[in-house]
Chain A
């Protein structure tokens, strides 16, 4: 289904944005859960790479797609638990621990993926098209004719929102992130909740990585995430720690990552075909990340969408936060 002209351009861009934004969305919602519990995890990029490699390796070895996704999530949940142990149980520096975790994950991914470059016959997540709805102009293809993982992404964002704002557990989680001392006094198990959410965040980062290698851009290439894990961390700030805003942001970024390709495919604008321009168009997602953080940093936004107050600090009963 492709409409001509400007509508077709927007339609394609939206559809590509939602599809390419999905791995970012999954990782960003995972990071959001960890940060809501008060733990910053800067290892997202490495975890996504590990998820992509493990998912692809297991799907290749077993021929089973579901097993690939499951193994990816298990591996990254386990890996991020190392970060939880160091930063929550031992109260170590969250920034450095997360960076170390990221290095470890990226290196391990390269080791796991060493024999996977160029292998074929790996199953790929199927596309699912909703009849009729997919024919709605402009938004139809973006929302109703996508790979299965895209719908999973929408579900994850919606569930995360409902969990955070509509359940007792979500309330406890937010309390732990904002004021662990008070939550602890109420009998909430701060350490346990932090461990669980860091692990869940890791699993979602792994799912995001596997959705790259098994669905959106099938195949394994070392470094295939190209910084989107970091963009996910930035998006959590931009989205004000709200899953739905984070999801919209992820789709926006997906579209921006796609934009250079689409622009260079336009016939009416020959100067866009200049190869040198490609280098600068490739900078757009990264420059845009900085730009949205600047917007999020303006004071009137900062007041409305504040970070969890205890983000980045260890909780030790009877001790004032550092």
Chain B
């Protein structure tokens, strides 16, 4: 009796989805083991996470959806880049820059009396542009000099954090506090709690924007020539080159799109949640997005599903001490998911009886 491995020629979509879900569960089980070792009761921890994020009623679900919005957008950005095998791990920096530019537009660069539609559009454009440029630096260096984009995009996160600190603590600080003045009302995204019957529900229009972006990315990746070229570039760079694809331009373009999505997430976060730029307003959305994109198998629908799961984990983990547990679980889930890829690539069979001659 022995195990036999057989490479799969056709990879079933359902098997892939099942393995993704399975690795999510297995990752959580692995996380539970570590929690137990660290002296935390895993059952209580997971129950607290579920209560705070889903089972706690409308408010809990609303919280989860609010946090899912930036995760979805950043996750889409990462997914587009990863599909082209561009390892954009700097979505966090792009999100920060997007939030910074949107804040500049709302509080400093446009008059407070600007009508809301114009104001919000300008903020969104500024956010996208800033995020795109930030990601574009890493893309351009990759395309022109083959500089490793993992390192550059990540280093730019640290640079972005310090740039924002300069504005939040110094230049734009309100009375020395680590936050900027509150935006004029025209720069606030409408949210459910604006209606009387939904008071307390903080879901904002950004969720609809993110869902639209999800649809847009799906159309672009699966139905457009650009999307085909990106996928070709990811699957076989040499084939893309022989086919005459302008590889350098596609690399830069992909990074611009990824950065714009993350920058938009930053804009929506300040316009829909904080209504000002605050220190540490992002709990690391851009980093979690890496796991979101990978668990979603780089497919927009999958990214949507995993954004919801990770958002629940993020909302719930606030209730669990010590801090760091959420991040640990994310890592465990990612590792198990990559390990699970093995089952997507190979069929494992238990062979009994005589060993075949090969």
Of the candidate stretches B11-19, B59-67, B320-328, the one touching chain A is B320-328
Given A107-B331, A286-B159, answer yes or no on A293-B341 (Cβ-Cβ < 8 Å).
no
Residue of chain A at shortest CB distance from B329:
A107
What are the residues of chain A within 8 A of B311 when measuring CB–CB? Answer: none
Report the minimal beta-carbon distance from B133 to chain A, rounded to whole angstroms.
15
Given A91-B342, A103-B334, answer yes or no on A279-B162 (Cβ-Cβ < 8 Å).
yes
B40, B148, B324 interface centre (most CB from chain A within 10 Å):
B324
Q: Is the CB of A103 within 8 A of B162?
A: no
Given A90-B341, A283-B159, answer yes or no on A237-B151 (Cβ-Cβ < 8 Å).
yes
CA distance A104 to B330 in the complex (A): 7
Report the minimal beta-carbon distance from A224 to chain B, rounded to whole angstroms.
13
Q: Is the CB of A297 within 8 A of B146?
A: yes
B166, B171, B342 interface centre (most CB from chain A within 10 Å):
B166
B residues 150-165 in Cβ contact with A at 8 Å: 150-152, 154-156, 158-159, 162-163, 165
Report the minimal beta-carbon distance from B162 to chain A, rounded to whole angstroms.
5
CA distance A108 to B325 in the complex (A): 7
> Is A101 part of the binding interface, using a Cβ–Cβ cutoff of 8 Å?
yes
Q: Is the CB of A234 within 8 A of B331?
A: no
CA distance A300 to B211 in the complex (A): 47
Q: Is the interface of B mostly helix, strand, loop or mixed?
A: helix
CB contact between A114 and one of B290, B321, B330 (< 8 Å): that residue: B321
CB contact between B155 and one of A230, A279, A297 (< 8 Å): that residue: A230
Q: Is the CB of A107 within 8 A of B330?
A: yes
What are the residues of chain A within 8 A of B38 when measuring CB–CB? Answer: 108, 111-112
Q: Is the CB of B331 within 8 A of A111?
A: no
CB contact between B146 and one of A82, A90, A104, A302 (< 8 Å): that residue: A302
Q: Is the CB of A99 within 8 A of B334?
A: yes
Report the minimal beta-carbon distance from A87 to chain B, rounded to whole angstroms.
7
CA distance A91 to B340 in the complex (A): 10
B residues 7-34 in Cβ contact with A at 8 Å: 34
Report the minimal beta-carbon distance from A82 to chain B, rounded to whole angstroms.
6
Interface size class of A (residues with CB under 8 A): 35 or more
Q: Is the CB of A275 within 8 A of B170?
A: yes
Residue of chain A at shortest CB distance from B144:
A297
> Is A129 part of the binding interface, using a Cβ–Cβ cutoff of 8 Å?
no
Q: Is the CB of B331 within 8 A of A105?
A: yes
CA distance A222 to B150 in the complex (A): 23
Q: Is the CB of B291 within 8 A of A276?
A: no
Given A106-B324, A107-B324, answer yes or no on A96-B154 (Cβ-Cβ < 8 Å).
no
What are the residues of chain B within 8 A of A102 when measuring CB–CB? Answer: 331
Q: Which residues of A contact B (CB under 8 A)?
A: 42, 46, 82-83, 85-87, 90-93, 95-97, 99-112, 114, 222, 226-227, 230-231, 233-234, 237, 275-276, 279-280, 282-283, 286-287, 289-290, 293-294, 296-298, 302
A–B pairs, 16, beta carbons within 8 Å: A83-B335, A90-B341, A93-B338, A95-B87, A96-B290, A97-B334, A103-B331, A104-B334, A108-B38, A233-B151, A279-B162, A280-B166, A283-B162, A287-B159, A294-B145, A302-B146
The 4 closest A-B CB pairs, nearest first, are: A110-B324, A104-B331, A100-B334, A107-B328
